[in-house]
Structure 1
């Protein structure tokens, strides 16, 4: 599975940094890249269940590929969502179903900082993506 261009950029940026503080700063900067969601998209129907923080997810399909947008009210989580989104951007359904989130965040050097609740939340987002594309 090859990485999308933005995911490769993220991997290079994060692995070049030493230490959690630098990565946390970059993570928050990545979170600022998230495209804002409209009031309608911030509704209960788009809210991801299973996250401690509020997370909203919107999906649409163009040219046989899935594109997602997401938002959270938690700053660090916005960064993690941005990194998840660049990893799955434009993936076909079969590849999305096979993605290993733990491996992706470990590659970025962020695996140890993912608390069980953040890990569960990100897995809930991924499961919601899979549910949306198989609906």
Structure 2
């Protein structure tokens, strides 16, 4: 089950017929995120397997999962924003139960991301899941 924030994004996507409009919307979501502080852009937060530079900084407080992230690529920042909408605020025990591939598929992303971007997205999801599972 997707969060209310993700459902809102999915509804917005329903009104965007053209993939280029959807692509621009993903980029705008990324631009709206606060940048990750430079002090958190360290090897421990860097996600390997991404074509661009990606950092994810997860925080689990009182059993609730949150993460911030950043990238040097605008579309990847947008993908991070989508993942934040999908995962942030969930009980850490529910993170593994989110079918991110299916939820993001509702947005039509699979057909329009390059193989490298898809691999990077998969690497980000795996990092999120592994951090949550370690709790």
Do the structures match in fold with TM over 0.5? yes
SS in structure 2 opposite 1:109?
coil
* Aligned 8 A contact 1:15 1:109 in 2: no
Three-state SS of the structure 1 residue aligned to 2:44 is: helix
Instruction: Provide structure 2 residue ranges, at least 5 long, that are not aligned to the other structure.
Output: none
5 Å-filtered alignment, 1:1-135, equals 1=1, 3-135=2-134
Work out the CA distance in 1 between the residues paired with 2:84 and 2:63.
17
SS at match of 1:127: helix
Contact 2:31 2:77 in 1 (8 A): yes
**Is this contact kept in 2: 1:101–1:123, CA < 8 A?**
no
Tell me, in whole angstroms, the C-alpha distance in 2 between the residues paired with 1:68 and 1:26. 21
In structure 2, C-alpha distance between the alignment counterparts of 1:18 and 1:134, rounded to whole Å: 37
With the length of structure 2 as denominator, give the TM-score of the two structures. Answer: 0.91
Secondary structure of the residue aligned to 2:116 is: helix
Give structure 1 stretches of 5+ with no counterpart: none
The runs of at least 4 consecutive aligned structure 1 residues that moved more than 6 Å come to none
TM-score normalized by structure 1?
0.91
Moved more, 111-120 or 14-23: 111-120
CA RMSD of aligned residues (A): 1.4
- 2:70 and 2:80 in contact (8 A); partners too: yes
The total of aligned residue pairs comes to 134
